[in-house]
Structure 1
Amino acid sequence: MQKSSLQIFFFSGLLFISFFLSCDNTLKPIDTDFGIYAVYGALDLNKETNFIRVRDLNQPFTEDATREIDAEVTLENLESGFSEVFQDRREFFQGVYQHNFEVEQIIEPNTEYRLTVTRSDGASVVLNTNTPSKPEPLAEPLNQDCYTPIDITFDPVYSGSIVFFIEYVAAELPPPVRQGRYIIQNEDNPGGALVYTFTPVDIMKLTPQTGGKYRCTDLLVPEFNIVYRHFSEGFYEKFVEGRFNVLESTQRFGSFYADTLTIPIDDSRVCPPDCLTKQPKKEDNE
């Protein structure tokens, strides 16, 4: 398998067990006190294939010692009871062998999964993740002017975080202009609607290198794109930018998906809401 085929999105991510790990060869080679395996993986709900990397913490971190791994990796859907044992896709990377277990089952939203890594003597590491719900986002109103607030609604949302940028194409600036990151969570009403409200003119005023003077008339394309990722609980850190490479990333086990919501805007020149109140009074000629 080509190394590039192991790359997946998420803000893209991974799991370390019991203590902080680094991805380079300075990883502590022996760890009998803190764990059995280091497990790194992100289950992307939009992909048919995901990868979970496993390291044996009780073997030296060298080429010879990492050639083989004593590990059986199983993922169980706790809602349906479906369980699968994965094949090891071994890769030689930065002087050692990485063991990447290929997940080829569809990951369901709002579902608890259990990952189990078991050694031949029965010792194991067990990790759970509750996948995010996958609601169809709704933006309203559409095709309104620069001064009309827009509500973006995700319904339902349980645990986890929705992390997003607002992107647009503006005159005389490299596309796209990106504002954010914005993070919203549904801590007070799990299972209910999660709503974020923004006003286009406030976003345009933040456009860099413009001194706060840009308005919707400066859009080259009359729309905003909400580029978002929805993460399982506690899993959004270090995922928002760039790609996730299972061979290099060192984070922790969890789940997410990525999507984009496009919101059309009326970019006609309009008078701001307070402009009428600022008009000079006409003299009474009668």
Structure 2
Amino acid sequence: MLVLLSFAGCDESLNPVKENDRFIYSIAGYLDSSADRQWIRVIHLQEETDTTGKGIDGTITLENLENGETSVLNDSLFQYSENLYAYNFWTEQNIEPRSTYRITAERSDGAMSSVTVEIPDTFKDPVYYPPAVPGDKGRLVIEGIDNLADASIRFKIRYNVAGFTLNQSIPIIADTISTAAGYYIPIAPNRIAQATEDLETVDIFDCELYVARAGEDWVDFPSIDRNLIALPEGISNVEQGTGYVIGVTSKRISYPSGSCSD
């Protein structure tokens, strides 16, 4: 899912479609039925990147095609580096499993891009089994999933000296092993400690394991050539635009890490 956002945020790769009448917006991200807030990256392809915070020319809406519930997304300008900005739009509209949604970006003159997203059904709660013997790895067991979109360790770091907190994630989906019943992922209980061993004077808290199931339209982006993904018509489900949006249902369970504070 991070790959989707990283390509949508690369302004230089989208410059070739700036002067056109076929691609209006880039829309990228995912709708998660288990999340309280949804975030979608939207870029107006025919405008220069806005660094003033005045907003892009357009209204972004999210509609539940099952019951007609609709919300207008709020915009937030993010700065990722000195010259790289992007708008992430958010809403707290409820996302229901087994429902279909449409995201529409409409310009003031009526030109628009849209994408239709199907949300997969829920699934059985994953289970984490600690190591059975000293020196062994624990394992995360995931059952009842066909398309595994994401598996990661998520936690928060509080820097005691600077006084701020950051959300952190360690991807573990590459370690997935398929079985007849589903998947399992070996995870050492000190995985967070290994990833943060160079940090000093920090507190680690809210440690959890995150698993996301995607629908039938899931594309395994890590296995696709990055140059193909970057092309306007390479991998996209956006009408009159570029980008890719998927629907997921996720689960979060506690990760009993030895480095995690209560």
TM-score (norm 1): 0.50
1:196 aligns with 2:186: no
The answer on whether the counterparts of 1:15 and 1:38 sit within 8 Å (CA) in structure 2 is no
Structure-2 residue corresponding to 1:278: none
Computing the radius of gyration over CA atoms, which structure comes out larger, 1 or 2?
Answer: 1
Q: Kindly tell me: are residues 234 and 25 of structure 1, through their superposed partners in 2, closer, same or farther at Cα, counting changes over 3 Å?
A: same
Shift of 1:48: 0.9
Contact 2:9 / 2:86 at 8 angstroms: preserved in 1? Answer: no
CA deviation digits over 1:107-149, x for unaligned, max 9? 211211111111111111110111121122477xx99x99xxx
Which amino acid letter does the alignment assign opposite residue 195 of structure 1? A
In the TM superposition, what is the alpha-carbon distance from 1:27 to its structure 2 partner?
3.9
Pick the aligned partner of 2:65 from 55, 58, 78.
Answer: 78
Matched, 1:14 2:7: no
* Identity within the alignment, %: 26
Shift of 1:253: 1.4
CA contact (8 A) 2:151 2:212 kept: yes
CA contact (8 A) 2:65 2:102 kept: yes
**Distance (Å, rounded) in 1 between the aligned partners of 2:107 and 2:3:** 24
Greater per-residue strand proportion: 2
Equivalent position of 1:234 in the other structure: 218
Q: Which residue of 1 aligns with 2:118?
A: 130
Q: Which residue of 2 aligns with 1:254?
A: 246
Corresponding residue pairs, total: 191
Q: Which residue of 1 aligns with 2:176?
A: 182
Structure 1 match to 2:196: none
1:40 is matched with: 28
Matches within 5 A, 1:1-286: 11-12=1-2, 14=4, 23=10, 25=12, 27-28=14-15, 30-61=18-49, 63=51, 67-93=54-80, 94-95=82-83, 97-137=85-125, 154-155=143-144, 160-161=147-148, 164=151, 180-182=174-176, 195-196=181-182, 228-232=211-215, 233-235=217-219, 237=221, 252-256=244-248, 257-260=250-253
Distance 2:105 2:30 in 1: 15
Q: Per-residue deviation at 1:50?
A: 1.9
1:73, distance to aligned residue in structure 2 (A): 0.7
| Counterpart-to-counterpart distance in 2, 1:161 and 1:179 | 8
Q: CA deviation at 1:24?
A: 5.0
Contact 1:62/1:95, CA 8 A, preserved across alignment? no
8 A contact 2:120–2:214 mirrored in 1: yes
Give the AA of the match of 2:246: G
Q: Which amino acid in 1 is paired with 2:245?
A: F
Q: Secondary structure at the match of 2:120?
A: coil
Structure with greater proportional helix content: 2
Confirm or deny: 8 A CA contact 2:151 2:173 kept in the other structure.
Answer: no
Cα separation, 1, equivalents of 2:251 and 2:220: 12
Cα separation, 2, equivalents of 1:258 and 1:235:
20
Q: Tell me the CA shift for residue 97 of structure 1.
A: 4.7
- Pair 1:195–1:79, CA change in 2 (3 A): farther
How far apart, CA to CA, are the structure 1 residues paired with 2:78 and 2:72?
19
Q: What value does the CA root-mean-square deviation take over the aligned residues?
A: 4.5
Alpha-carbon deviations, 1:4-49, whole Å to 9, x = none?
Answer: xxxxxxx456369xxx756255641724154000112222233211
Deviation at 1:60?
Answer: 2.6
Whichever residue aligns with residue 100 of structure 1, its letter is N
Structure 1 residue 78: deviation in Å?
1.4
Per-residue deviation at 1:251? 6.3
Aligned counterparts of 2:76 and 2:126: Cα–Cα separation in 1: 40
Amino acid at match of 1:133: D
